[in-house]
Chains A and B, each alone.
Chain A
């Protein structure tokens, strides 16, 4: 029998995660990447990519958002609970967007 109380709910140290301190170097790399992506998105907007313009713009913005979340907001080094929470938030946001869109898109299909 171990010395300490069996902590079935792991409240004291969730997933025994060591508290990781993100270094200034990592932050700087992310920072520079973000600036480059900003320049890239402006540049891409000047090109005529037709229907791909908004797709590229949103893809770059999503990438920027993801690296801010993972590194500036430390989520990469946090517990699974935090990761799932972030996921749940964006999932619900997507539900709002797509399911409401389902009405607007299909209105134009006419009555049967």
Chain B
């Protein structure tokens, strides 16, 4: 071997199957396959940072749920399980349409891709809409931590028609800890919602480009990689829902 550099292209083409060079091919990559794999890998590495970022909050939740279980149960039961479950279904549906969108891009069906992106956005916005109503309700019930927080409803819970407490009353210091639950609720769902909003903004941008046919000529990486992001945000909610809403739906039993 007297020469360390050989042009690999000439010898390589004969062995490689023929491929069209896309306009988006970046020239520091040798092949599109390499570019696509690199892009996907890069997006996964970014998602790893998201796992660790949310991970810190999940740990805080885990700790305080253990320390103040009764307060967490009481506070969790003021959340609307029906809305939470509906939101979970909405977000899963949004993810389903996103996955179909990736498929549409891969099989080069432009109108289907745009449709699926629109449906993803619609369901994403629906999720945020439901969240808005949930937050509004929390505000009205004085469950937002801070000066307006009303702890008395946990010390003296409302009575039902028979005159029994609807939930076990909490001693005052434990009742104070419900604020921690609500803080974590707002922080975690708020951070999640922020990621959804960013995702929706990106979806509008992608819809525009998809409509111009940019993703149905073989270059699917932005759709694919955005899909990874969107599904990840979905997975975070899949864990948030049972952890925040379904801690213990029958605290009176024991």
Q: Residues of A at under 8 Å CB distance from B?
A: 2-5, 11-14, 19, 21-24, 27-28, 30-31, 34-35, 38-39, 41-42, 45-46, 48, 50, 53-54, 57-58, 60-61, 64-65, 68-69, 71-74, 78-79, 81-82, 85-86, 88-90, 92-93, 96-97, 100-101, 104
User: Smallest CB–CB gap between A84 and chain B, Å?
Assistant: 10
* A27-B250 contact, Cβ under 8 Å, with A13-B33, A61-B239, A93-B55: no
Query: How far, in angstroms, from A68 to B234 measured CA to CA in the complex?
Result: 9
Q: Which residue of A lies closest to B230 (CB)?
A: A72
A69: chain B residues within 8 A (beta carbon): 231, 235
Residue contact B14 to A73, C-beta cutoff 8 Å: no
Query: How far, in angstroms, from A71 to B14 measured CA to CA in the complex?
Result: 34
A79: chain B residues within 8 A (beta carbon): 37
Residue contact B52 to A21, C-beta cutoff 8 Å: no
Q: Give the size of the chain B interface in residues (CB under 8 angstroms).
A: 61
Residue contact A90 to B51, C-beta cutoff 8 Å: yes
Q: How many A-B residue pairs have CB under 8 A?
A: 149
Q: Residues of B at under 8 Å CB distance from A?
A: 6, 8, 11-12, 14-16, 30-31, 33-34, 37, 40-41, 44-45, 47-48, 51-52, 55-56, 58-59, 62-63, 66, 81, 85, 88-89, 92-93, 95-96, 98-100, 102-103, 106-107, 224, 227-228, 231-232, 234-235, 238-239, 241-243, 246-250, 253-254
B15: chain A residues within 8 A (beta carbon): 2-4
